[in-house]
Amino acid sequence: MPALNTIVAATDFSDAANRAVWRATLIARQHGAQLHLLHVTTPIALYPGQEINPSADEAPMHERFAVMAQMLRAHYGISVHLAQRIGRAHTQIADYAATVGAELVAVGARGESSMPRLLLGSTASRLLRVRRGAVLIVRGEPTQPYAQVLAAVDFFVHTQAVADWARKLAGDAQVRLLHVLEAMNESALRPRDSDDVSTRLRQDQMRAIAESLMADLQSRSSGEADKHIESGHPPARILECAKDWQSDLIVLGRQGSVGLEEFLLGSVSKNVIQAADCDVLVVSEHATR
């Protein structure tokens, strides 16, 4: 796939956004890519009832922006560009990324620490519906490049892109290709004249097909990757494997477009994105943008 040249990190200077900026910085340094820091101001008129109470002693936003950029350039040796937009955050982020030709957009995931799982913030959720390219949702504290990358593949058209992006962001880290076979409802699928032997045969056939597809994917992907085929409820099994393997990044695909500029994530992707404790990268079959 094409080289990773341009990354956009959206920030509102919150802790969640800062994590996205740091992760994007590490990736930019890893790939020698340009980093664009984008801040979107939302007019009150767009969301009636919202109140903005800026602190009187808070430094002007452009000064905070400049300080952040200077620090990133000095400490990480990367090219940093600053941009400001006015409007709805998700549409402005997607439009800006398309304008600068960004292959990757990084955003923070908001959530309440008191909850058992971090909930996906509205900006990230809406961005996934309008962004025609890879979106990285950052939850973890970025202190080093990714060490354990899980690529969840389902053999739809986006599968090759999932494998390629996993390898691209993994660097020297380990990549695991995971396919989860949906558990069969044996009582519903079994014909009246069928028995347990024929049911097990169908299960074995499904696994053999998955093994063949996985081997083909592995042969077409660059770099080393371990392949795993598990059985169970796909979103739950993906999350369990990510926990067992201490994955710090899960790479998923989206199924395609529905309607005008909206993408169908599918229930598996939605559930994993919503419940994952680690970072999640969502990609599509579209090239990189």
Using CB atoms within 10 Å of the CB of residue 24, give its burial: 0 to 12 exposed, 13 to 18 middle, 19+ buried. Answer: buried
What domains sit in the chain, N to C, each tagged with a CATH number? 1-139 (3.40.50.620), 145-289 (3.40.50.620)
Average of per-residue pLDDT across 68-79: 94
- Cα separation, 106 vs 160, in Å, equals 21
pLDDT at 236 over 80: yes
- Cα separation, 171 vs 247, in Å, equals 14
- Cα separation, 126 vs 269, in Å, equals 14
pLDDT at 193 over 80: no
pLDDT-based confidence at 263, cuts 50/70/90? Answer: very low
> Tokens at residue 147, please?
């060490």
pLDDT at 272 over 90: yes
**What mean pLDDT is reported for the chain?**
83
pLDDT-based confidence at 48, cuts 50/70/90? Answer: low
pLDDT at 243: 97
pLDDT at 260 over 60: no
CA-to-CA separations, 95 to 75, 85, 92, in angstroms, rounded: 29, 10, 5
Sign of the CA dihedral running 162, 167, 171, 177: positive
For residue 121, give the amino acid letter: G
Task: Report the predicted TM-score, pTM, of the whole model to 2 decimal places.
Answer: 0.85
Per-residue pLDDT reduced to its tens digit, 119-160 = 466 788 889 989 989 999 999 999 999 999 999 999 988 899
pLDDT at 118 over 90: no
Whether the Cβ atoms of residue 253 and residue 133 lie closer than 8 Å to each other: no
Sign of the CA dihedral running 216, 221, 223, 225: negative
For the chain, the C-alpha Rg in angstroms (whole number) is 21
pLDDT at 81 over 50: yes
H runs (alpha helix) in the chain: 15-31, 61-76, 89-100, 122-130, 159-170, 186-189, 196-220, 234-244, 267-275
pLDDT-based confidence at 190, cuts 50/70/90? Answer: low
pLDDT at 74: 94
For residue 162, give the amino acid letter: V
